[in-house]
Amino acid sequence: MTKQISTVCVIGAGTMGSGIAAQVANAGGRVLLLDIAAGEGSRNAVTEKALERIAKSDPPLLMKPGNIERIAIGNIEDDLAKVKECDWIVEAIVERLDIKRNLYRSLLPHLKEGALVSSNTSTIPIALLMEDMPDALRKRFCITHFFNPVRYMRLLELVRGEETEDAVIDTLARYNDEVLGKGVVRCGDTPGFLGNRVGVFAMQAAIHEAMELGIDIEDADAVFGRPMGIPKTGAFGLYDLIGVDLMADVVRSLRSILPQGDAFHEVGAENDLINSQIEKGFTGNKGKGGFYARIDGEAKALDLKTGAWRARKKEQPELAMRAERDGLGVLLADNSPQGEFAWRVLARILTYSASLIPEVTLSPQDIDDAMKLGYNWIRGPFELIDEIGAQALAERLEADGRYVPEFLREAADAEREGDRCFYRANGKALEVRHWGNTFRPANLPDGVVRFHLTRQTLSPEFGNASADCFRIGEDVLLVEFHTKANALDDKSMEIVRAAAEAESRGVLIHNDAQHFSAGVNLERFKAFIEQEDWSGMDRFLHDFQLAVETQLYCSKPVVGAPSGLALGGGYEVLAHCDRLVAHANTVFGLVEAAVGVVPGGGGVKETYWRWYQATGDWEKAAWNTFNQIGYGRTASSPDLAADLTYFLPQRDRQVMNRDRLVTAALAEIDAMAGGYEPRQRPQFQLAGSDAYAAMVEFLEKGRAKGHFMPHDVTVASQIAWIVTGGEDGQGGMIEEQDMFAREREAFLRLARTPQTLARISGMLAGSGIPRN
């Protein structure tokens, strides 16, 4: 069997096939993308249009536009013989058994020796796909079920058949993990596998209970969302995002393949309201709306009782806000209809998940991983039970007259005797309860570290409400932010500074939350402005700058390992690291101008210095910095960030699998630790008054043409002032401390304007940034 995969054929150029092809190209592989031949015009019209969709996709499927050149196209009538050049053939065509089987037969003469074959199906068992197929194909065939969008969704369900050889599974697991960046969950060939079986059930449970209890959809999504560690779309919002019509088909499909006694049938019946919305063309975000819509310019929500549109609520229910802050216990202790909704939904999801052991898998980690990787849950069902307590959950289920699965009862009995429910630390190892009342080590491939799991085996060296510092590996301090969206505040930066000053071989700044950091806490700045506490604001900025300066010039290497958003103040922390080891989907940017301020934590300074290093010309560096920060330019990958100097390929590196960031970052620290010396403090030359005048002229012309709003001009003028010295600037050399001070001065100047308060308030309220 093939052990190295370099060329992949994807057959089926629809949404999933195009996404798989794009991700292989992102990883540097060569791709042959095939579909049916067109009846008119170009024979490759179907795949040509697929390439166009890939190139125009938003969010982008490609990490940089040039990656599309790795995708060759064709059709299955003229080009099937080219399959002989491919190491792996992925079928992603329509979910029709007869069509799939006909394709496999036509492939047989063209497969090279050792080539692997898989299907992206989510509904058809391997036994049916491979019925009457030659043994040679059955041994090399499996299911590789990707989630959409392929670039961003981390889960790959790898499903083996009875005759699939171990080498096939091992090779595809390794390739999809290390090369394509997937979290691979190995599944049995059972209906719905793991992700959709639990994920769709959870959505249906929330919709079913909301309709039963008459809960408004906004309240249902708010409760069945962040308080439970589930994305804020909840159930109704996720239906709209995926497509109401598509979800209705998925539900029908699961209903058709799950056994009659399965609890899915209680929540997955045909839904008259959903069918009516589809008939009216309300198919979700891709159409006129679904459960939510904009009608005549106004935000509307569907009334579940009447089926009519009403004004969409703007305020979140107080219960949801308290529960997000204080935990699941708040939901379970609440006796309101919203509290009853939360209990019923959790009771259904948690008992359903427990009932799948041992039928579907022996390990709860498989189900938890599937939900975290495939549905972006922060905690899987069994991690939620650990928070609630298996004993407390089982007792309430029994009091409610509900079914208690055997696996949950087993954990509850063990908890009564002082044992942990499903996850426990055994020294430095994390163990997971399996069927049969046994614990086994958490199952992770070599080199994979998910810090939210590792954390359970550690105690912080020091920490506070916003961040913690742990000692890991060979005497490395890991700084983990843990505020909402990892927004940075004074306490976050206290830990950054303390880690830089503490004894260690190096510092790693990392977390495996959805986002590294969305920036500085705007609520804090709004309070400063409303209280006119300018000295407090200046002190905050000074302390932030002192923390990143200490980090940059400390006696040991500091590596940042981001994933998700790394914006504003979050990026400023990274800009003051010695190196970055970034996930390939990290979004970088200094976006402060949008809310009416300038970067105040060294972001302007470091951007100016990087552009000077790249160009050797202070005036060019000033203009590049002025444009980049003034327009708030962001980059959706390290490849694109390199064009903006946010990411420096000559020293930084990117990693496809975010679960491998920690291992890669520790290797970088090891490489730097011996004989480490921090960078020498640079001096900066201001670009001078002529450059400042030219920048202001550019802004005024733009305002006259309607390109810029008045406050845009004010903000950008302050960026120009920082890097040029302003209208009196002489172009002299200044120290790094002076650049820090200029950022603070410009920030405070802008913070005193009413336009900045309006912009920050609009951003926090979710009403958008006013055009002022």
Residues 522/763, Cβ–Cβ less than 8 Å:
yes
In the three-class reduction of DSSP (H, G, I as helix; E, B as strand; rest coil), residue 425 is classed as strand
What are the structure tokens assigned to 18, written together?
Answer: 């195009």
User: pLDDT tens across 339-382, in order?
Assistant: 999 999 999 999 999 999 999 999 999 999 999 999 999 999 99
Question: Which pTM value belongs to this model?
Answer: 0.95
Residues 691-714: tens digit of each pLDDT: 999 999 999 999 999 999 999 999
Bond into 358 cis (ω within 30): yes
Residue 760 is predicted with a pLDDT of: 95
pLDDT digits (tens, 9 = 90+) for 8-56: 999 999 999 999 999 999 999 999 999 999 988 999 999 999 999 999 9
CB of 591 closer than 8 Å to CB of 541: no
Buried/exposed code over 670-709 (b: 16+ C-beta within 10 A; e: otherwise): eebbeebeeeeeeebbbbbbebbebbbebbeeeeeeeebb
Question: CA 635, CA 742: separation in Å to the nearest integer?
Answer: 26
- The rounded distance, in Å, linking the Cα atoms of 107 and 406 is 45
Distance CA 305, CA 308 (A): 8
Beta bridge mates, 653: 581
The H-or-E segment that residue 73 falls in is strand 71-75
Q: Residue 174 is encoded by which pair of tokens?
A: 């390794």
CA distance 33 to 74: 6
Which pLDDT does position 737 carry in this prediction? 97
**CA atoms within 13 A of residue 44's CA, in its CB half-sphere:** 16
Burial of 582 by CB count in 10 Å (0-12 exposed, 13-18 middle, 19+ buried)?
buried
**Beta-carbon count within 10 A of 135 CB:** 9
pLDDT tens digits for range 440-499: 999 999 999 999 999 999 999 999 999 999 999 989 999 999 999 999 999 999 999 999
| 200 vs 206: CA distance, rounded Å | 10
Pairing of strands 506-510, 116-119: unpaired
Kindly give the interhelix angle for 736-751 and 534-552, rounded to the nearest 10 degrees. 150
pLDDT score at 419: 80
pLDDT band at 730; cut points 50, 70, 90? confident
How is residue 608 annotated by DSSP?
A: H
Question: Environment class of residue 190 by beta-carbon count within 10 Å: exposed (0-12), middle (13-18) or buried (19+)?
Answer: middle
The strand pair at 476-481 and 506-510 is best described as parallel
Token pair of 583 as six digits: 């996930």
Edge-to-edge strand list for the sheet holding 438-441: 423-426, 429-434, 438-441
Question: Order of strands across the sheet with 634-635?
Answer: 565-567, 587-589, 634-635
